[in-house]
């Protein structure tokens, strides 16, 4: 009897025939993740290598705030109440908060404006999703690049703090990884928010969100200045948790409550990545 000839099955998106699938691929559907998010990071590096000045420019804004408010205004406000309830120098109080704000700004603006351009105008992700890469690769890759950019700002700022003698504890060595966590959380949420934007005018909402976070997350004054109802509202702000975490590490006031801030930021990053992945799949794979 003649045997029927059947065509070999076509490899699907993210099909890994040359190597055994990783544990993540056994959980995430192959169409969503191919394990090649690093390719998006490499592309971003190659694109931005000739515009390094624009990449590092975001570092200077918090540095100017540190010199203007910490060293200038700080001469008028000599001490404030620190995280341990004891008085501390105003410039030492403001510096860790500006480090958290620096990580937030670098991550947010890279994960919003740049990604919106790539998605709506350059149509980069339409081309990316025609390869084995999936929506989760896009979310992880672009968030990782925003994390690197926010981490670059944070690393430079940590060097400045060390040079000014504002790191008073060995726990301050953990300030850089903590700042990277802050950048990662805001990058993930920023990318998720970008998938809902329809025009450049929507980016006014980004400024509307970032500026109050910068001003009211105990960046320039302690939480105790707020009345009780507002204090509860401030404690719900994401940047507050980044500020409290970094301020505790830099000043050496380390306690179990810092783990709550870490968990808040980790949950924020996970939710942001999940929402961004789902929205990219809905917008570009329909």
The DSSP line for 17-42 is -SSPPPHHHHHS-TTT--S-THHHHH
Question: What is the C-alpha separation between 90 and 72, in angstroms, rounded?
Answer: 10
Question: What is the C-alpha separation between 78 and 91, in angstroms, rounded?
Answer: 9
Is 231 part of a structural domain of the chain? Answer: yes
- Angle at 97 (CA atoms; ends 95, 100), nearest 5 degrees: 115
What does the DSSP 8-state code read for residue 77? S
Is 192 part of a structural domain of the chain? Answer: yes
CB-based contacts of 153, cutoff 8 Å, min separation 6 = 56, 58, 59, 62, 102, 103, 105, 106
Contact criterion met (CB below 8 Å) for 136 and 31:
no
Q: For residue 166, what pLDDT is reported?
A: 82
Residue spans of alpha helices (H) in the chain: 23-27, 38-48, 52-56, 60-65, 90-109, 115-120, 124-128, 135-163, 175-194, 204-216, 228-235, 238-251, 257-284
Q: For residue 13, what pLDDT is reported?
A: 47
Question: What is the C-alpha separation between 275 and 279, in angstroms, rounded?
Answer: 6
Q: For residue 34, what pLDDT is reported?
A: 60
Token reading at 156: 């430079």
Is 29 part of a structural domain of the chain? Answer: no
**Tally of domains within the chain:** 1
Q: For residue 10, what pLDDT is reported?
A: 46
Is 2 part of a structural domain of the chain? Answer: no
Q: Which residue range(s) make up the domain with 123?
A: 53-284
CB-based contacts of 79, cutoff 8 Å, min separation 6 = 87, 88, 89, 90
Is 47 part of a structural domain of the chain? Answer: no
Classify 88 as helix, strand or coil: strand
Is 7 part of a structural domain of the chain? Answer: no
Is 22 part of a structural domain of the chain? Answer: no
The one-digit pLDDT tens for each residue of the chain (286 residues) are 444 444 445 444 444 444 454 454 444 555 566 677 888 888 888 877 776 666 666 667 777 777 777 667 767 777 888 888 888 888 889 889 988 988 888 788 878 888 888 888 888 888 888 888 888 888 888 888 877 877 777 787 888 888 888 887 888 889 989 999 998 999 899 989 998 988 888 888 888 889 999 989 999 889 988 998 899 999 999 999 999 999 999 988 999 999 999 999 999 999 999 998 888 888 876 6
Question: What is the C-alpha separation between 233 and 111, in angstroms, rounded?
Answer: 26
Q: Is the pTM of this model over 0.85?
A: no
Q: For residue 3, what pLDDT is reported?
A: 45
């Amino acid at each position: 009897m003649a045997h029927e000839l059947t065509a070999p099955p076509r490899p699907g998106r993210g099909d890994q025939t040359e190597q055994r699938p990783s544990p993540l691929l056994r959980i995430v559907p192959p169409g969503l993740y191919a394990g090649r998010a690093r390719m998006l990071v490499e592309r971003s590096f190659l694109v931005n290598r000739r515009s390094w000045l624009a990449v590092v420019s975001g570092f200077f804004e918090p540095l100017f705030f540190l010199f203007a408010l910490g060293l200038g205004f700080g001469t008028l406000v000599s001490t404030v109440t620190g995280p341990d309830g004891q008085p501390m120098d105003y410039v030492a109080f403001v510096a860790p908060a500006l480090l958290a704000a620096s990580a937030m700004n670098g991550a947010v603006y890279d994960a919003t404006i740049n990604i919106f351009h790539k998605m709506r105008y350059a149509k980069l992700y339409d081309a990316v999703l025609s390869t084995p890469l999936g929506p989760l690769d896009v979310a992880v890759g672009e968030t990782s690049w925003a994390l690197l950019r926010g981490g670059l700002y944070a690393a430079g700022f940590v060097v400045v703090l060390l040079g000014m003698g504002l790191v008073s504890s060995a726990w301050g060595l953990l300030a850089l990884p903590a700042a990277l966590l802050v950048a990662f959380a805001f990058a993930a949420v920023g990318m998720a928010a970008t998938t809902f934007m329809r025009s450049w005018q929507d980016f006014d909402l980004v400024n509307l969100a970032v500026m109050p976070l910068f001003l009211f997350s105990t960046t320039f004054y302690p939480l105790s200045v707020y009345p009780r109802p507002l204090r509860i509202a401030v404690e719900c702000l994401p940047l507050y948790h980044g500020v409290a975490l970094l301020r505790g590490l830099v000043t050496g006031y380390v306690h179990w409550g810092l783990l709550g801030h870490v968990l808040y930021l980790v949950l924020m990053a996970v939710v942001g990545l999940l929402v961004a992945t789902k929205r990219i799949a809905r917008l570009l794979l329909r």
